[in-house]
Structure 1
């Protein structure tokens, strides 16, 4: 359904021909729907406006996705709508006050960034902290400097995970390993892809709080297996060496050994699989057992992305749903 920022329903999506929604780890997810308007539904859909209205998607009566409409197109007999999740608003917000954190858990800092971002104009959100990040450090933010969404992404690179589910923004530690199910080759009859991302490998990280080298932290050294691979990054919100070193250690955990990803190539996960689609939330894990490729996998892997696509079919052809889940293993999951 299409919902006004005041809470009223602008229009239900009664005749859907295409639905696509995603979930993403440490980033904003998107959704897309195609509607065939009929009767007075056409008039209501003609009043849809970007950012004023939100798209809500339900699967079997469960609210699985929601966020502001970013783009709409009206054509003969069809309305196509694109939207971003609740985190999209934070990409259009800046810090509204200056703040300096001392030795604080990253989830507390993230919660402040979110609440400050929504404080002047809240479209409706809930922050849910599953557990502390277990990574502490100092951060400094200046009023009106930088987008809040960018600050949140920077924070997630140093030991925190977050994701959006409906109107909830979930914060959890990068090392969270709770499983929501198990998948094997029988659950993925059309196959999968196992990929090793060597571009993400680093054996030594240097994190700087500025480009002058006044604030600097490092972690790692020459790895006996991979050799020396060094990465440098600046995060201007980090004000001291100890926090920069903690950030470097967190980055090292997630980039050594080489991160491994599994993608189900947009195939339908078998209905008999021991997973429930609404529970496929980035940041949680799946136990994966697969010998279909030359790279055998038997491991608990973190969900990093979800994509659900459904079409209404045509004529005598029934509609179908495809579920794609992407999982990954890095140093953080191995730990």
Structure 2
């Protein structure tokens, strides 16, 4: 699609497709197109950031975003794209703004709106629910990338993801389920991993040097011992906000986060899962005894990856649906 909204070209023959969805991060997509006729002429004129890639799965809209890399090859064109959040990594704060003791979701809304204000590629924001965490932040004009500010704010008690041009803001404790998975749905198995590198039992968060703000949460844990981490967030302006940020970080890093990965296997056809409904920030009820680490709980979707190959005359194409889900202290809460 063109930036103006006009259709540029339709990729009729695809030899490879990959699209992802991500929690608190920018998702990506990649396609290989075998062009012919007028399609080749049209695709020869496309440009990065001017044009966007739009993907449909079984006729249902699943992904779109600006094209960020193009490779014209003999008999093939490769397009790589990122979702609408990628624009925020190319934007800075456009005005001075100070927030005092407001829900951090309100701050996130402002950051997004300010980032797109001078030049909006077409976006909407949906607040699924308030974070329930208050904070004070100060932002200065032309200081810092908006995407970095949003990622830092996400560590203070909220989640975000992009589905097409819509940005969803969710409380970190949002755990609405969109389906159920068991060992029968994963014929090739799954992998359960415990990330000890993410364990922190005591967080110290420092605010701006001018404010002298400092907050902490946690301490020695009877089971894990003491694991401390210090971080600076210059936009924080008071001790209370620093303490809230420390509490949110500790909640996400205690106990040790556990991740479940379906190892890029295709979900069984009879699995009661609607792939377009696999949205990071929502959850799946997972029951598995396929590994020594048994799992039977509701886990938050943190990533989705769908790949498909076109196959050839002798081998049919194959789709692979990979889902990553996680359990941290935030999900347990």
Pairwise same-fold verdict (TM > 0.5):
yes
- Equivalence for 1:181: 179
Separation (CA, whole Å) in 2 of partners of 1:110 and 1:271: 39
Structure 2 residue corresponding to 1:256, chosen from 254, 257, 272? 254
Question: 1:273: Cα distance to partner?
Answer: 1.1
Structure 2 residue corresponding to 1:99, chosen from 97, 101, 104? 97
Separation (CA, whole Å) in 2 of partners of 1:214 and 1:112: 25
Residue 235, structure 1, aligned to residue 227, structure 2: no
Question: 1:318: Cα distance to partner?
Answer: 1.6
Per-residue CA shift, 1:194-221, capped at 9, x if unaligned? Answer: 0000011011100111368811000111
Structure 2 residue corresponding to 1:166, chosen from 158, 164, 167? 164
Contact 1:161 1:172 in 2 (8 A): yes
Separation (CA, whole Å) in 2 of partners of 1:63 and 1:134: 32
Separation (CA, whole Å) in 1 of partners of 2:151 and 2:34: 37
Residue 313, structure 1, aligned to residue 316, structure 2: no
Separation (CA, whole Å) in 2 of partners of 1:321 and 1:135: 41
Per-residue CA shift, 1:69-109, capped at 9, x if unaligned? Answer: 00000011000000000000000001111100111111111
Separation (CA, whole Å) in 2 of partners of 1:54 and 1:88: 12
Spell out the pairing of 1:133-212 with structure 2 (5 A cutoff): 133-210=131-208
Question: 1:34: Cα distance to partner?
Answer: 0.3
Separation (CA, whole Å) in 1 of partners of 2:55 and 2:133: 34
Separation (CA, whole Å) in 1 of partners of 2:57 and 2:38: 25
TM-score by length of 1: 0.98
What SS does the aligned partner of 2:8 have? strand
Spell out the pairing of 1:1-335 with structure 2 (5 A cutoff): 3-210=1-208, 214-335=212-333
Question: 1:320: Cα distance to partner?
Answer: 1.4
What SS does the aligned partner of 2:253 have? coil
What SS does the aligned partner of 1:246 have? helix
Question: 1:59: Cα distance to partner?
Answer: 1.1
Runs of 4+ in 1 over 6 A off after TM superposition: none
Question: 1:316: Cα distance to partner?
Answer: 3.0
Between stretches 299-308 and 54-63, larger displacement belongs to 54-63
Unaligned runs of 5+ in 2: none
Contact 1:255 1:330 in 2 (8 A): yes
Question: 1:292: Cα distance to partner?
Answer: 0.7
Contact 1:211 1:234 in 2 (8 A): no
Separation (CA, whole Å) in 1 of partners of 2:3 and 2:210: 45
Contact 1:128 1:168 in 2 (8 A): yes
Separation (CA, whole Å) in 1 of partners of 2:171 and 2:35: 44
Question: 1:142: Cα distance to partner?
Answer: 0.5
Separation (CA, whole Å) in 1 of partners of 2:302 and 2:211: 33
Unaligned runs of 5+ in 1: none
Separation (CA, whole Å) in 1 of partners of 2:298 and 2:210: 41
Separation (CA, whole Å) in 1 of partners of 2:305 and 2:274: 14
What is the total number of aligned residue pairs between the two structures?
A: 333
Separation (CA, whole Å) in 1 of partners of 2:273 and 2:224: 36
What SS does the aligned partner of 1:11 have? coil
What SS does the aligned partner of 1:89 have? helix
Separation (CA, whole Å) in 2 of partners of 1:31 and 1:75: 18
RMSD across aligned positions (CA): 1.0
Separation (CA, whole Å) in 1 of partners of 2:180 and 2:195: 23
